[in-house]
Amino acid sequence: MPPINWNTFSGELSFLFVGVGGQGIILASDILAGVGLKLGLDVKKAEIHGMSQRGGSVLSQVRWGAKVFSPIIGKGGGDFMIAFEKLEALRFCDYLKKDARVLLNDGAILPIPVIQGEASYPTNTQIVEALSSITRNVVWVNGTRLAEQLGNPRLTNVILLGALAQWLGLPDEVVLEAITERVPETYLAQNREAYFLGNHLPISQM
Amino acid sequence: MKRLLSGNEAVARGAWEAGAVVGSAYPGTPSTEIMETFALFPGVYAEWATNEKVALDVVVGAAYAGRRAFTAMKHVGLNVAADALFYVSMTGIEAGLVIVSADDPSMHSSQNEQDNRQYARFARIPCLDPSDSQEAYDFMITAFTLSEQFDTPVMLRMTTRVCHTSSPVEVSEERMTVSTERKYPRNPGKYIMVPANARRHHAWIEDRMIKISRFSETFSGNRVEMRSAHLGIITGGIAYQYAREVFPEASILKLGMVYPLPVEMIRNFANSVEKLIVLEELDPFIEEQVRLMGVEVFGSRPTEYPANKSIFPVVGELDPFVVFHSAVAAGLLPRSQGDEVRWKEEKREIRFVDIPDRPPVLCPGCPHRGAFYVLHKLGLPVNGDIGCYTLGMTSPLNAMDTCGCMGASVGVAHGAAVAGDAERHVAVMGDSTFFHTGMPALLNVAYNQSDVLTIIMDNRVTGMTGHQDNPGTGKTLQGKETVAVEIEPIVQAMGITRVKTVKGYDVKEIERTIKGWLKMKGPAVLITREECALLPSARKRWIPLRVIPGLCNGCTLCFRVGCPAISQSPEMDPVHQRPLAQIDPLLCTGCEICAQICPRNAILLRSQVEMETSGDEYAPH
């Protein structure tokens, strides 16, 4: 994909954030919605609260455009997926367009049927192979491990945002401003560090 | 200035700017954040009520007293509050009264799917149906004006998608003046609904609806967007967004007020287009009325069950994909248009692998787990209720047989008992549910002396909706210290003498108590008390436990508590060749339920882990 000029961008982009309750998905999608607004775009961000938080699958959707109508993407409508959990990338891949781009965090949270030994968790090779019928634009990020190295596993979300910003060529100052608006001041320095860590990852496919 | 607000935040903001001074609600997804947000504004009184019916009575009281007030509840909350809805429609009000009803199409977090626009027609009140956060904000302010203009409560009908979608909102930052000067307006002829007054009022409210129907013809929230005359779409609420997304060329009659309908506007619109369809989520609420007007709607209605819709599904939430494919099936849109591939149904062979389900589960450290483990083990019939503990139904606990609505557990168990079911029924509900509707049901058990064993799982908070305070927590919605109502004396005052409180994590004591009570007749109440493990105060006590590899022999017993923190490790027991257990230190809270169940004491207790970290030797217990 050629680099986007964000000063003149007037197209539409739809992002899917998927993972498991408690991974910081809602915050990450909030920040990305804020980025869209700062870029002068119309923005909608849709999510589901409640029962799905209790260890269940979580899906948050962000749409950018000159004018956004539907807050939800619908099957086959997504341009980007940011998967905090590998299995969830497969679960929601029907929502992606052909050749959509997928940022895959190499982290697994085992669902109960797997813990019980009733089902097995797919390998990374199986996951990429399964996704390949829809897209080969898959980039792995070791967000969880990098966040642990920073001393706080909860920073995974901002590391992934950093990687996404790199992939999209977003201006750092805009993303950092959106982060500043949504993160408590005491955690700001950590989050900046996490953002740049993700933003400077050497990812060959980008 | 434009702010990114969720629909719920926008409603709260609109209420505040409209000068609402009282808000009362019971938490319920997807409505909860409305009152939580309203409570933060200056110069307002906002509370968690014990249930939705109480909440509606409270705001009716405020509106009778001449103050703008509102309540917000999930769709099924209005079932609880329906009694109040109907009398306040009959009386009218002194100051604006708005009832926010948040429907949950597709039941993301609900027990049933219902279209609460029907309540507006049923109770003869106007209904506004916003399609994004801006309209949620605008319509909330409009709702108060309409309420006073027509002397009626007004329903603002939200749906999960509008509640939990954030979009830019232009807000005014200013609040309308709040009147504080008035004496209580006495008007018994208007506000006492004895038959003589009520008969007069029924005629009056029917007339009121005719007036509002006339008003709706010029209401700015109802508008025509003329594009191609080939297809016209009547739509409202979130469905408007799908109409714009999927039918960019079509002309649209966008209804902000979905009850009562603007008859002339609809007729004129129908006459200006070649083909007319109605696009709405859930019931054919608008479609039926449009057909009743004698206006021709494209698509034949199913003859077997004419209450169904002709083109779009009556079940579940709509989205652009569903709308597109329904339109294609009805012949309204071509399957593909040039390069347009959105929502194209492709045969996708992605199932090289099975994708394991990820059902919601009781969290690691959930204090409800102990009692459900025991109930599963004893194999008793369990009548459940609405809350986190409904997840006691999930595998491997499988410890629930029924769950209907708030407070149903005890009544349903009582019914089975008096019907002569030979098995002892256990009713299970949480602390907040006990205060909501559990109390009258338990009083019925006490009064009629059935053999129901009730477990009140008191985790000191309203959990499922995201940690709201309730009468047991000692705090109000606005953070004031208050009385922490005790459950035990309430139960005792009902005349139930067999009442015991056990710690939620004490599996052995829970089992001993239930087993003992099974031999006795009459009502019994067991209160299992333990703070929700996700509360900040409980998080401070988290200590991850550990499996001692030499002692674990892979017997799998600990897997049966259904804790996401315990899984099979890659290591095998050398004797039986079974995978050993392992505990995820990031998930484990140290509740010790697994440790109590382990027959080989292969899981370190908290005290042992603490000793270990302080450098001392430990001995297996």
Convert the pLDDT of each residue in B535-565 to its tens digit. Answer: 999 999 999 999 998 999 999 999 999 998 9
Higher pLDDT, B400 or B181: B400
Same domain, B518 and B447: yes
pLDDT band at A53 (very low <50, low <70, confident <90, very high): low
Q: Is the dihedral of CA B526, B530, B531, B534 positive or negative?
A: negative
Longest dimension (CA), chain B: 87
Phi and psi, residue A81, nearest 5°: -125, 130
Give me the mean pLDDT over the A128-133 stretch: 90
Q: Same structural domain for residues B54 and B182?
A: yes
Residue of A nearest to B386 (CA): A51
Flag whether A74 is in a domain. yes
Do the Cβ atoms of B132 and A44 come within 8 Å?
yes
List the CATH number of the domain containing B411.
3.40.50.970
Cross-chain Cβ contact A49/B109 below 8 Å: yes
Distance CA A102, CA A91 (A): 13
Cβ atoms < 10 Å from Cβ of B184: 9
According to DSSP H, which parts of B7-166 are helical?
7-17, 32-38, 52-64, 75-80, 82-91, 117-123, 133-150, 160-163
Residue B306: pLDDT band with limits 50, 70, 90:
low
- Which residues of chain A neighbour B579 with C-beta distances below 8 Å? 117
Nearest to A33 among B4, B356, B363 (CB): B4
B359 assigned to some structural domain: no
Q: Which of B109, B349, B352 sits opposite A50 (nearest CB)?
A: B109
In a domain, A2, yes or no: no
Number of domains in chain B: 4
Q: List the CATH number of the domain containing B320.
A: 3.40.50
| B552 within some domain | yes
Beta-bridge partners for B500:
B526
> For residue B339, what pLDDT band results from cuts at 50, 70 and 90?
low
CA-based nearest residue in chain B for residue A30: B166
Q: In whole angstroms, how far apart are CA B175 and each of B13, B34, B170?
A: 10, 18, 14
Residues in Cβ contact with B615 at an 8 Å cutoff, skipping those fewer than 6 apart: none
Question: Residue B18 — φ and ψ, nearest 5°?
Answer: -75, -5
Tell whether B349 is covered by a domain.
Answer: no
Per the rule left: phi > 0, alpha: psi between -120 and 50, beta: everything else, B181 is: alpha
- Cβ separation of A77 and B342 shorter than 8 Å? yes
Residues of chain B with Cβ-Cβ distance to A40 below 8 Å are: none
How many beta carbons lie within 10 A of that of residue B331, not counting itself?
10
- Residue B333: pLDDT above 60? yes
Q: Which of A104-113, A196-205, B82-91, B118-127 has the lowest mean pLDDT?
A: A196-205
B515 has pLDDT over 50: yes
Q: Do A37 and B164 touch (CB under 8 A)?
A: no
Chain B interface, best mutation among A69, A109, A131, A152, by max B CB count within 10 A? A69
Q: What is the pLDDT of residue A133?
A: 86
pLDDT band at A2 (very low <50, low <70, confident <90, very high): confident
What is the rounded CA–CA span in Å between residue A9 and residue B343? 23
Kindly state whether residues B270 and B239 are assigned to the same domain. yes
Residues B439 and B559 in one domain: no
| Shortest Cα–Cα distance, A161 to chain B (Å) | 19
Tell me how crowded residue B546 is: count the other CB atoms within 10 A of its CB: 18
In whole angstroms, give the CA distance from residue B444 to residue B440.
Answer: 6
Cα B77 to the center of its chain, rounded Å: 8
Q: Indicate if B91 and B176 belong to the same structural domain.
A: yes
- Share the mean pLDDT of chain B: 94
Domain presence at residue B361? no
Interface size A-B, in CB pairs within 8 Å, comes to 187
Instruction: Name chain B contacts of A120, Cβ cutoff 8 Å.
Output: 354, 356
B138-189 tens-digit pLDDT = 999 999 999 999 999 999 999 999 999 999 999 998 999 887 767 898 999 9
In a domain, B402, yes or no: yes
> Would you say residue A112 has pLDDT above 60?
yes
Answer yes or no: is B407 within a domain.
yes
- What pLDDT, on the 0 to 100 scale, is given for residue B360? 84
Contacts 24+ apart (CB under 8 A), B322-325: B322/A74, B323/B239, B323/B242, B323/B243, B323/B245, B323/B246, B323/B279, B324/A74, B324/B246
Q: How confident is the model at residue A206, as a pLDDT?
A: 45
| pLDDT band with cut points at 50, 70 and 90 for residue B533 | very high
Distance from CA of B162 to the nearest CA of A (A): 8
pLDDT, position A49: 65
Residues of B in contact with A134 (CB under 8 A): 348, 350
What one-letter code names the amino acid at B100?
A: V
Checking if the pLDDT of A32 tops 80, the result is yes
Do the domain assignments include residue A6? Answer: no
Closest approach of B368 to chain A, Cα-based (Å): 13
Q: Which residues contact B355 (CB under 8 A, 6 or more apart)?
A: A87, A90, A91, A122
How much is the pLDDT for A10? 86
Tell me the residue range of the domain where A153 lies.
13-108+120-199
Residue B36: band (very low, low, confident or very high) from pLDDT cuts 50, 70, 90: very high
Q: Can you tell me the distance from the alpha carbon of B459 to that of B468, in angstroms, rounded to the nearest whole number?
A: 12
A66 touches chain B (CB under 8 A): no
CATH of the domain at A49: 3.40.920.10
Largest Cα–Cα distance in chain A? 52
- Do residues B513 and B567 share a domain? no
- Choose the final residue of a domain: B163, B187, B216: B216
B336 confidence band (pLDDT: 50, 70, 90): confident
Q: Does A32 touch chain B (CB under 8 A)?
A: no
In a domain, A5, yes or no: no
Q: What is the pLDDT of residue B618?
A: 47
According to the model, what pLDDT value does residue A118 have?
84
Domain match, B143 and B30 both: yes
Q: Do B168 and A34 touch (CB under 8 A)?
A: no
Mean pLDDT, chain A, rounded, equals 91
| Cα angle for residues B568, B573, B578 (degrees, 5° grid) | 55
Per-residue pLDDT, averaged over B414-434, amounts to 97
Do B96 and B159 lie in one domain? The reply is yes
Query: B150: number of CA atoms within 13 Å, CB side?
Result: 29
Residue type at B604?
A: L
Judge whether residue B278 has pLDDT over 80.
Answer: yes
Residue B616 pLDDT more than 60? Answer: no
The pair of three-digit structure tokens given for residue B323, joined into one six-digit string: 């709308």
Percentage with pLDDT > 70 across chain B: 95
Separation in Å, CA A91 to CA A25, A110, B247, B355: 16, 14, 29, 7
Quote the Cα angle for A86-B549-B579, to 5°. 50
Range of the domain at B585: 542-613
| Angstrom distance (rounded) from CA B220 to CA B261 | 13
